[in-house]
């Protein structure tokens, strides 16, 4: 069963899309809120196979959780072997330097120990959102929505998609006993989202790719990437 984190700071539209995809593939899921996570024990949390954190505002999401809950989520992933799938904000808050014993992480949740991820070249150009012509793990190249997501970790054999400049856009990796997928892109964003932003992805929706990420996180079987060597081109970009 999969848990989806909702509430303040999370993107409702992406949550709805992810819930629909899971239901279509007959995967039981439950939406929880920060207050629910606060009250859950580590044993209760670890009964679930996967926790999904969508896009939104990372600081708002993590500020509603105590240091105890930050540590509980880390332990569920790194020690108990839970999977973690984060999109955009969910990807941002996943990576932080390992905390000192008994202390909280300096940023986010820190389910992956490492330096805080970097901003993309689109952000540095002043873009707030864009369609990225992204090379994907199956060798295809598609327009996917970027809306402020990070450059994900460069992990040998673990990069599943890249941005226009070749930096990682989606990464899978192990963190302790757990399996983690971090996506700076939004494959679960449907046409109603891109239409509302005035964007026109040439291949239509990418929901099948969102399901492949969900399936990998649920099964903890890594995706075998077959990325092309070129094709890093920004398709469409705009400011709101």
- The per-residue pLDDT for range 146-201, each reduced to its tens digit, is 999 999 999 998 999 999 899 999 999 999 999 999 999 999 998 889 999 999 89
pLDDT, residue 205, reads: 83
Distance from C-alpha of 11 to C-alpha of 201, rounded to nearest angstrom: 20
**Considering the entire predicted model, what is its pTM?**
0.93
Residue 229 has pLDDT above 60, yes or no: no
Q: What is the DSSP letter of 75?
A: H
Kindly write down the DSSP assignment for every residue of 174-203, as one continuous string.
Answer: EETTEEEEEESEETT--HHHHHHTT---TT
Distance from C-alpha of 51 to C-alpha of 198, rounded to nearest angstrom: 31
Distance from C-alpha of 170 to C-alpha of 160, rounded to nearest angstrom: 5
pLDDT, residue 164, reads: 87
Distance from C-alpha of 77 to C-alpha of 53, rounded to nearest angstrom: 13
User: What is the distance in angstroms between the CA of the first residue and the CA of the last residue of the chain?
Assistant: 37
Tokens representing 186? 């939004």
pLDDT digits (tens, 9 = 90+) for 94-134: 999 999 988 999 999 999 999 999 999 999 899 999 999 99
What percentage of the chain exceeds 90 in pLDDT?
Answer: 85
Which of these ranges, 55-59, 88-92, 111-115, 225-229, has the smallest mean pLDDT?
Answer: 225-229
Domain boundaries, given as residue ranges, for the chain: 2-238
Topology annotation, domain 2-238: Rossmann fold (3.40.50)
Kindly write down the DSSP assignment for every residue of 88-138, as one continuous string.
Answer: THHHHTTEEPPPPTT---SSS--SEESSPPBPPHHHHTT-SEEEEEEEBTT
Residue 12 has pLDDT above 90, yes or no: yes
CB 201 within 8 A of CB 186: no
Across the chain, mean pLDDT equals 91
Distance from C-alpha of 93 to C-alpha of 39, rounded to nearest angstrom: 21
Residue 240 has pLDDT above 50, yes or no: no
């Amino acid at each position: 069963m999969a848990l989806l984190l909702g509430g303040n700071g999370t993107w409702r539209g992406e949550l709805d899309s992810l819930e629909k995809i899971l239901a279509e593939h007959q995967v039981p899921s439950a939406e929880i809120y920060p207050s629910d996570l606060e009250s859950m024990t580590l044993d209760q949390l670890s009964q679930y196979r996967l926790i999904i954190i969508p896009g939104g505002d990372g600081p708002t999401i993590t500020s509603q959780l105590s240091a105890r809950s930050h540590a509980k989520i880390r332990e569920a992933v790194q020690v108990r072997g839970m999977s973690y799938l984060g999109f955009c904000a969910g990807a941002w808050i996943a990576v932080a330097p390992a905390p000192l014993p008994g202390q909280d992480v300096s940023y986010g949740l820190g389910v992956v120990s490492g330096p805080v991820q970097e901003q993309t070249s689109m952000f540095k150009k002043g873009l707030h959102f864009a369609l990225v012509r992204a090379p994907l793990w199956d060798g295809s190249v598609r327009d996917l929505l970027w809306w402020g997501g990070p450059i994900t970790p460069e992990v040998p054999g673990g990069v599943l998609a890249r941005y226009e400049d070749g930096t990682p856009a989606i990464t899978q990796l192990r963190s302790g006993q757990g399996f983690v997928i971090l996506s700076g892109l939004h494959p679960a964003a449907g046409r109603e989202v891109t239409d509302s932003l005035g964007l026109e992805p040439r291949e239509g929706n990418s929901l099948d790719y969102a399901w492949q990420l969900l399936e990998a996180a649920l099964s903890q079987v890594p995706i075998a990437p077959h990325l092309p060597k070129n094709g890093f081109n920004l398709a469409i970009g705009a400011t709101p």
